[in-house]
């Protein structure tokens, strides 16, 4: 009897991997995440709100101190720029990892599953 083959081509996206990660998270993920990052979040909040209060205080006085207001503005903007840069780096790394995998071609045969690699090697799972 000839072997039947079903070939499937799968492409993963960043959105699909995010949905998969959300589906795999348990109910205690976010409380644990917040507790682990509380110290860093507190430092960022102090920098941001301290910088904003410095800007407001040094601009609204009778004799504005522009150097201190500029420093306060830098303190307020720095955490935002840091988080933006980190997020872009994560997205870029994820896109590069997905590009190295996509498209994934699967061949289902009566003997098992064949998964060819980009280098030409083939994996077999009975």
What are the pLDDT digits (tens) for 19-62?
A: 777 777 787 887 888 787 788 788 888 888 888 888 888 888 78
Q: 126, 111 in Cβ contact below 8 A? A: yes
Exposed, middle or buried, 6 (CB in 10 Å: 0-12/13-18/19+)?
exposed
Is residue 124 assigned to a domain? Answer: no
* Residue 17 pLDDT greater than 70, yes or no: yes
Any domain includes 38:
yes
- 72 in any annotated domain: yes
Write down the pLDDT at residue 89: 92
- What pLDDT is attached to residue 120? 66
Please report whether residue 45 resides in a domain: yes
Q: Dump pLDDT digits (tens) for 105-126.
A: 777 777 777 777 777 677 767 7
Range of the domain at 43: 14-101
How many independent structural domains does the chain possess? 1
Does 70 map to a domain? yes
Angle at 93 between CA 89 and CA 99, to 5 degrees: 145
> Looking at the domain assignment, is residue 58 inside a domain?
yes
């Amino acid at each position: 009897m000839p072997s039947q083959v079903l070939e499937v081509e799968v492409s993963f996206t960043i959105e699909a991997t995010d949905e998969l990660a959300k589906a795999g998270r348990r109910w205690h993920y976010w409380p644990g995440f917040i507790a682990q990052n509380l110290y860093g979040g507190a430092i960022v909040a102090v920098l941001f709100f301290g910088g904003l209060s410095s800007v407001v205080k040094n601009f609204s006085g009778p004799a504005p101190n522009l150097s201190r207001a500029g420093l306060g503005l830098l303190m307020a903007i720095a955490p935002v720029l840091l988080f933006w840069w980190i997020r872009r780096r994560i997205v870029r790394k994820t896109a590069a990892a997905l590009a190295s995998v996509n498209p994934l071609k699967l061949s289902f045969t009566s003997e098992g599953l064949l998964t060819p690699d980009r280098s030409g090697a083939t994996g077999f799972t009975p």
